Amino acid sequence: MKPIRVNLLVKILIAMGLGVAAGSFFPEWAGRIFMTFNAIFSQFLGFLIPLIILGFVAPAIADIGKNAGKMLVWTALIAYAATLMSGFLSYAVGESVFPHLISPGSLGDVAEGHDLLPYFTIEMPPLLGVMTALVTAFTVGICLSRMEKAETLKRGFDEFRTIVEMTISGAIIPLLPLYIFGIFLNMTVSGQVVGILTAFAKIIGVIFALHIGLLILQYCISALFVKRNPFKLLWTMMPAYFTALGTQSSAATIPVTLKQAIKMGVSEDVAGFVIPLCATIHMSGSVMKIVCCALALMIMQGHAYDFSMMAGFICMLGVSIVAAPGVPGGAIMASLGILGSILGFSESDQALMIALYIAMDSFGTACNVTGDGFIALIIDKFFGKK
């Protein structure tokens, strides 16, 4: 008999539930054991963040540059523009709606000093700062794309990306449920868990409605170019949407997305180029989840924010998560650095973001892959006959 495999989402939900339950009866000494693990794990995660950015972004930019035909450049620009549109739409809706659903500063009244403390921790200073890693990734990626005889170095960065992916898949992801358990155990002990879970139950409904609205907007934009009914186009892509809901993987959904894009009238050559590429670089759904959850958490904690801060965060987010879908939870892992450096999120805030992101992973993936079709329609309008 084959062993039953439990996917990451189920493991995270179980860890959250067990953490809440255990927080009501665990003795302090036992809780501190888990906090010790969390302290060491968060140090390791902080050490990896710049390496994740460097490993994902530099090879992705180099790949785009090395194959820089007009169609590839325009596909990348439209995908990035769509990702930014999603981020700014999420911010506008969240700023208007969230203060009516959750109490601003509602977590600020929770008494300090109830948190469980680790017995010890191990310092793991990162090799690079987050912004240094981003600048380095841009510099290396652009230069590699311009150099004709840099195959050895390019292969080295590709292999480095593989190392980063193996580290996330082999070490971070398997230990993540235990880390989330410790976070929710601590939140229960400190009295924050009820407020957080109640608030985010409301936020999830807003995010679901928002990503449906975003898909309609995207296909209305594509309809302006192809002069067709946007709702019929979107309906054609529904098999890809529901496949992504089930698989939670952009890569696994590529065959279905490709088939439905061709059914919409996209030429096979264009669809075969755009759909696999956008599975890596088009992240509208992922950005929407991250921006909404980050904004909600900042409102709940009474953190100051303004448009310029969020605009910088959204623009950097669209770049930092390029090529991140290669591993489960890759987008949120790649965004942890700028969550800390731009928005000032603490380690516990980042851990909560990981849990919330993965809990809604299906919605974001479905939004990403379904939106790939609208990009294929626009590219086909200008490049299909060529």
Residue-wise pLDDT tens digits, 235-259: 998 888 888 776 666 766 777 888 8
Residue 327: pLDDT band with limits 50, 70, 90:
low
Mean pLDDT of the chain: 81
Is it the case that residue 44 has pLDDT exceeding 50? yes
CA 94 to chain centre: 17
What mean pLDDT do residues 287-313 have? 88
Q: What are the residue ranges spanned by the domains of the chain? A: 8-383
The amino acid present at 193, given as its one-letter code, is V
What mean pLDDT do residues 218-230 have? 90
- 56 Cβ contact list (under 8 Å, min separation 6): 137, 161, 164, 320, 321, 322, 323, 324, 326, 330, 334
Give, as one character, the DSSP assignment of residue 148. S
Q: Is 67 helix (H, G, I), strand (E, B) or coil?
A: coil
Give, as one character, the DSSP assignment of residue 114. -
Inter-helix orientation angle 307-320/28-66, to 10°: 70
The amino acid present at 296, given as its one-letter code, is A
Give, as one character, the DSSP assignment of residue 149. S
How does pLDDT run across 14-40, given as a tens digit for each residue? 888 888 888 888 888 888 898 899 889
What pLDDT score does 65 carry?
61
Check if the beta carbon of residue 9 is closer than 8 Å to that of residue 361.
yes
Place of tokens 């109830």: 114
What mean pLDDT do residues 292-304 have? 86
How does pLDDT run across 169-189, given as a tens digit for each residue? 788 878 888 888 888 888 788
Residue 147: pLDDT band with limits 50, 70, 90:
confident
Model's pTM, two decimal places?
0.77
Is it the case that residue 86 has pLDDT exceeding 80? yes
Percentage of the chain beyond pLDDT 70 is: 87
The amino acid present at 142, given as its one-letter code, is I
For residues 106 and 268, the model is more confident at 268
The span from the CA of 104 to the CA of 207, in Å, is 19
Question: For residue 288, which of 186, 200, 190, 211 has the smallest C-alpha distance?
Answer: 211
What mean pLDDT do residues 353-367 have? 79
Question: For residue 233, which of 217, 247, 211, 246 has the smallest C-alpha distance?
Answer: 217
Question: For residue 226, which of 211, 236, 212 has the smallest C-alpha distance?
Answer: 236
What pLDDT score does 247 carry?
61
The amino acid present at 225, given as its one-letter code, is F
- CATH for 8-383? 1.10.3860
Check if the beta carbon of residue 105 is closer than 8 Å to that of residue 300.
yes
- 327 Cβ contact list (under 8 Å, min separation 6): 165, 168, 169, 173, 333
